[in-house]
Amino acid sequence: MRVSEAIASRRSMRMFKSNPVPRADLEWMISTASRAASNGNLQPWRLNVTSGKARERLSAAIQKAIDGNDHGPGAEYDVYPRKFTEPYDSRRKTVGKQLYGILGIGKGDAAGMARQMRKNYDFFDAPVGMILSVDRGMGNGQWVDCGIFLDQLMLLAREKGLHTCPQAAFSRFQHVVRRELGIPDNEVVICGLAVGYADPDAVPNNLITERAPIGDFTHWHEG
Ligand SMILES: Cc1cc2nc3c(=O)[nH]c(=O)nc-3n(C[C@H](O)[C@H](O)[C@H](O)COP(=O)(O)O)c2cc1C
């Protein structure tokens, strides 16, 4: 598979089959992704990989926390900008509308939205759920490195016929994630990553999101 094919075929999948993922494929993905560039070669990423009963325990613990209204301290970083300006506000609203639209969740259907939100915590039924974290002492630069590592994981997954969904939703329940996986206090939970086999034609999986033309964000300086 060419890199461009991996990029073109990657999209966030929100419905997975239960087929298990071979441990060897996961190890290959993780070790190959760890070739990611990082400033000073700090390699600041930390990863917890859950599957089987451990994946189910993590999901169950978060679902229980939601049922018990145990929202803890919430995410430890700004998952979104504190103030939404244009064009970002419109982009977020558009993708939300598109996703809920194909799922048949109408505007104002708070219960439907909450149900969809909760599916995050089951990793959309993916057999593998990863949690990416970073040492608290790391700066913005190292968060860039973690993003590169995360993207490499997602692209390498394609080469093994796997799909993914990055999930900042897990940062919101980092207190539960931390407890279940024994993640130390000196790490910040960045996000989850669902990994598994997805049917690209399943309703929530056929959302092809928009992108701005490159002229909107690229300035050329030539000559
Ligand atoms: C860091 C990060 C966190 C995300 N968190 C979530 C999430 O919690 N739940 C979800 O359904 N999608 C999540 N997404 C997926 C985005 O909605 C998706 O990447 C975006 O709409 C573009 O669509 P695409 O990935 O299909 O190209 C996240 C993406 C990124 C990069």
- Given this model, what pLDDT does residue 134 score? 98
- Given this model, what pLDDT does residue 53 score? 98
Q: How many CB atoms neighbour CB 11 within 10 A?
A: 17
Task: Identify the CA nearest to 45 among candidates 64, 24, 31, 59.
Answer: 31
Choose the residue to mutate in 77, 163, 165, 190 for probing ligand 1, maximizing ligand atoms within 8 Å of C-beta. 165
**b/e string for 16-35 if b means 16 or more Cβ within 10 A?**
beeeebeeebbeebbeebee
CA of 97 to the centre of ligand 1 (A): 14
Dihedral of alpha carbons 67, 188, 141, 77, sign: positive
pTM above 0.75, yes or no: yes
- Given this model, what pLDDT does residue 29 score? 98
d(CA 60, CA 54): 10
Spell out the per-residue pLDDT of the chain, length 223, in tens.
999 999 999 999 999 999 999 999 999 999 999 999 999 999 999 999 999 999 999 999 999 999 999 999 999 999 999 999 999 999 999 999 999 999 999 988 999 999 999 999 999 999 999 999 999 999 999 999 999 999 999 999 999 999 999 999 999 999 999 999 999 999 999 999 999 999 888 999 999 999 999 999 999 999 9
C-beta of residue 114 within 8 angstroms of C-beta of residue 120: no
Choose the residue to mutate in 16, 167, 195, 206 for probing ligand 1, maximizing ligand atoms within 8 Å of C-beta. 167
- Given this model, what pLDDT does residue 143 score? 98
Give the dihedral of Cα atoms 157, 192, 11, 66; nearest 10 deg.
140
Q: How far is CA 66 from the centre of its chain?
A: 19
CA of 221 to the centre of ligand 1 (A): 32
For the chain, the domains span 14-78+121-207
DSSP assignment letter at 74: -
The CATH architecture to which 14-78+121-207 belongs is 3-Layer(aba) Sandwich (3.40)
d(CA 174, CA 75): 7
